[in-house]
């Protein structure tokens, strides 16, 4: 199962591809800023598949503004999506996930390093995800559920494209002067959701091309 907010054509394309490969898939339209919709997505997944083993909290937004002009509305929406949604989905998952499952959040290297102005609130939200990860690992460890966070650096996405307005400046800060790819981030997520990572919990693994080196 995966959720999407607005990109129905892309969601339909992904569903079609998975089904062609013989997989079962459920796509649910849900705004991560809506706590009820987030909870419902977990509930509907359990109804459709009888349970689940892995939760990946992947939704996020980035508003870059000077602190003097950062509105409370932007602040609240940033935390609703980047932090509260992670808590809500993880809480609902913990209630329904079998022992020995995996919870993974997508954070950001900006939780540890913010080298440009205007990103204070975004960095704050991702630092909160890192703290929540460590706390949940303690809460759920007795059940054999691991909780970890992946902290990407600049990655070629719709939100921050490789040829976007920030790209040249960010590449100059990196040991590898290129953006990461989505499949590279997915590889680390797959590792954390594998038996090989059964003894890894409560950590934030950075994959950033040397952005924080």
Name the token pair of 106: 């997508």
The residue annotated as part of the active site, out of 4, 122, 179, 191, is 122
Estimate the share of the chain in helix, then strand, then coil, as percent rounded to the nearest 5: 50, 15, 40
CB 45 within 8 A of CB 26: yes
Please tell me what DSSP assigns to residue 119.
Answer: -
Give the three-state DSSP class for 56: strand
Is 191 a catalytic site residue?
Answer: no
Alpha-carbon distance of 139 to 196, in angstroms, equals 22
Alpha-carbon distance of 92 to 43, in angstroms, equals 8
CB neighbour class for 17 (10 Å; exposed up to 12, middle 13-18, buried from 19): exposed
Name the token pair of 191: 């590792």
The catalytic residues are 122
């Amino acid at each position: 199962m995966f959720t999407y907010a607005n990109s129905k054509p892309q969601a339909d394309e992904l569903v079609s591809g998975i089904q062609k490969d013989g997989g079962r898939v459920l796509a649910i339209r849900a705004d991560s800023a809506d706590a009820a919709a987030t909870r419902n997505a977990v509930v509907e997944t359990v109804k459709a598949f009888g349970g689940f083993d892995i939760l990946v909290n992947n939704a996020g937004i980035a508003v870059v503004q000077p602190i003097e002009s950062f509105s409370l509305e932007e602040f609240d929406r940033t935390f609703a999506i980047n932090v509260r949604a992670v808590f809500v989905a993880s809480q609902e998952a913990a209630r329904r996930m079998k022992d020995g499952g995996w919870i993974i959040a997508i954070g950001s290297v900006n939780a540890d390093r913010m080298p440009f102005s205007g990103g204070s609130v975004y960095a704050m939200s991702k630092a909160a995800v890192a703290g929540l990860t460590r706390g949940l690992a303690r809460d759920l460890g007795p059940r054999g559920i691991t909780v970890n966070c992946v902290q990407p650096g600049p990655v070629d996405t719709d939100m921050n494209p490789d040829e976007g307005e920030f790209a040249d400046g960010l590449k100059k800060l990196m040991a590898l002067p290129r953006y990461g790819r989505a499949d590279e981030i997915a590889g680390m997520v797959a590792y954390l959701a594998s038996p090989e990572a059964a003894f890894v919990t409560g950590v934030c693994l950075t994959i950033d091309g040397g952005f924080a080196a």
